[in-house]
Amino acid sequence: MANELDELTGNINEQGRDVNVIERQLPVKVGFGSTLFEIMLWLCGILPGLIFLFMKVGAANYFRQLQQKIQADASQIDNFLEQRVQILQNVAPLVAKAIDLDKDVMKSVAAFRGGRLPESERNAVSQQIDASFARLFPQVEAYPDLKAHAAIADAMQQNSYLQKEITAARSLYNDTVNQWNNDIFAWPTKMIVAARAGYTTRIPFTASAETKAKARETFF
């Protein structure tokens, strides 16, 4: 029997396809069949009815715990985002000072490393760079706030770390949301409890249109 989906010989879309998360919450609904199912359990005897009642109590407790986990996952994302904002706020004035202080030095370094200068001028440029750093270092030592290079490098490292943590936290949040969306439609126990409680599906984390557009840009 052939595979229903064959990635080797099946039809493909060479242009690709962009996907988006649908911004819509689906309510959980049960019909008369679910009510009839519960009635039949009680008609079969008190024991089946009581067992299903305890199962519904367990399902309700499970959903409350899962909601708390979703909140905790979302809070973790907020914590990492707040740390990134704090880093940016702390490093912004240092960056401004550093750019005003050594932008000419950086231009000389870029020209020297880029090989855009004739060989006869490289010694002169090298001397200019040495002189610039000779003026720079005493000022950095005299003013602790101007130790921007180390601070900026540290901020960039922290920012890179936090970006990875945010990505992991968002994946965890989406996994928990996906678990919720699957469980509320698990008939009979969980679906009946979810419908009676008025639960709906939850929308996972989505990237903005601006972020998607930037992801398609040329980085290098």
| Residue 4 CB partners (closer than 8 Å, separation 6+) | none
Q: Note the Cα 168 to chain centre separation in Å.
A: 6
CA distance 119 to 51: 88
Summarised one tens digit per residue, pLDDT across range 33-60 is: 999 999 999 999 899 999 999 999 999 9
Summarised one tens digit per residue, pLDDT across range 103-124 is: 555 555 455 455 444 444 544 4
CA distance 190 to 28: 10
User: Residue 207, by phi and psi: left (phi above 0), alpha (psi -120 to 50) or beta?
Assistant: beta
| Residue 17 CB partners (closer than 8 Å, separation 6+) | none
Summarised one tens digit per residue, pLDDT across range 128-166 is: 544 544 554 455 455 555 555 677 667 767 878 888 998
